[in-house]
Amino acid sequence: MSSDTVLVSATEKHLVTITINRPDKLNALNREVLENLTKAFVELRARGDVRAVIVTGTGEKAFVAGADIGAMQKMTVPEAKALSDLGHHLGDVMEGSPFVILAAINGFALGGGCELAMACDLVYANEKARFGQPEVNLGVIPGFGGTQRLARRVGVGKARELVYTGDMIDAAEAHRIGLCEAVFPAAELLEKVRAVATKIATKGPVAIAQAKVAMRRGDALLPTANELEAQAFGLLFGTTDQKEGMAAFVEKRPASFAGK
C-alpha cells in the first residue's frame, strides 16, 4: 500500500499512520503524492478494519509546505483546474471515509498542507508548527478547499485575514482560533495523537462513521463551494501574476505583481 512518497504503516490494531515523505521539498504535494494519498485512503477503507488514521510528515521541519510550486509554475488553466480537482477529490475521499483521520502537524502546514490538515477530522500540532494559506504571495488562491474549510473552522473574519494577507501563524495562535485542537511538545506529538486515536478506536465504529456522515451532510454546500474554488484557482493560471509569483519563489526573490 506504501509508495516512496506516501508511507503507510499499521501502528497497532485498527490504527494506521500515513507519512508524507518528500523531506527535501518539505513534503510538498505534487500530483503523485495527491494520487498516492487518495489511493491509500481508498485501500484503507476497503480493508474494513481501520478505525483511525494518523497523517503526518517526514522530518522535523514540515508536515506539508504546500502544493509543489515548481510543478505548478508552468501549468496551464486546465492543468491547474485538474490539480485543484485532484486535491478536492482527496479531501472528499478523506471526509467520506468511515474512520477518523487525525493530523499530526510536525512543522510547516502551509497552503495545501493546511488544507490537507483541515480535510482531517482532528488536527493536533507540536509547538514548532506553523500554519498559513500563503497562496496570494504566489498570485493564486488556496485550491484544495482552503477558501471553504478555513472559514468553517475559524470563522469568516479570521479566514479572510489569513487568506488575504498570506500570513503564517504559530501553533499557539492556531490553537487559539480553533485551527488545531491541541498543541503538544514535539517529542510527545505522535504519542499524544496515538492516544486520542486509540481511544476513538474503542468506540462503536458504526456510530463514529455515522457521526462523520451526519456532520458532513449538514454542510451540503461544501461540494459546490469547492467547485467554485477550483474554477477560480484554475483561471488564475491565465494571469501574469501567477507566473511572476511562482517564478519569484523558484528564483528566491520577492514577487512584483502587475495586477494582470
Spot the catalytic one: 12, 135, 229, 251.
Answer: 135
| Residue nearer to ligand COA on the CB measure, 146 or 205 | 146
| Residue nearer to ligand COA on the CB measure, 52 or 110 | 110
Asked if 139 touches ligand COA (CB under 6 A), the answer is: no
Residue whose C-alpha cell is 472528499: 92
DSSP structural state of residue 96: T
Residue whose C-alpha cell is 509546505: 65
Query: Long-range contacts made by residues 175-180, C-beta under 8 angstroms, separation at least 24?
Result: 175/125, 178/153, 178/154, 179/114, 179/118, 179/123, 179/131, 179/150, 179/153, 179/154, 180/105, 180/117, 180/123, 180/124, 180/125, 180/129, 180/131
CB of 113 to ligand COA, least distance (A): 7
35 is catalytic: no
Nearby residues of 138 by Cβ (< 8 Å), 6 or more positions away: 69, 242, 245, 246, 248, 249, 255
Of residues 108-137, those binding ligand COA (CB under 6 A): 108, 110-111, 134-135, 137
- CA 145, CA 83: separation in Å to the nearest integer? 12
The residue count for binding ligand COA (CB under 6 A) is: 16
Site string for ligand COA, 73-112 (x = CB under 6 A): -----------------------------------x-xx-
Of residues 5-64, those binding ligand COA (CB under 6 A): 25-26, 28
Neighbours of 22 (CB within 10 A): 22
Spot the catalytic one: 12, 35, 60, 115.
Answer: 115
Q: Of the candidates 17, 33, 68, 102, which one interacts with ligand COA according to CB under 6 A? A: 68
Catalytically active residues are: 115, 135
Q: Contact residues for ligand COA (CB under 6 A)?
A: 25-26, 28, 65-70, 108, 110-111, 134-135, 137-138
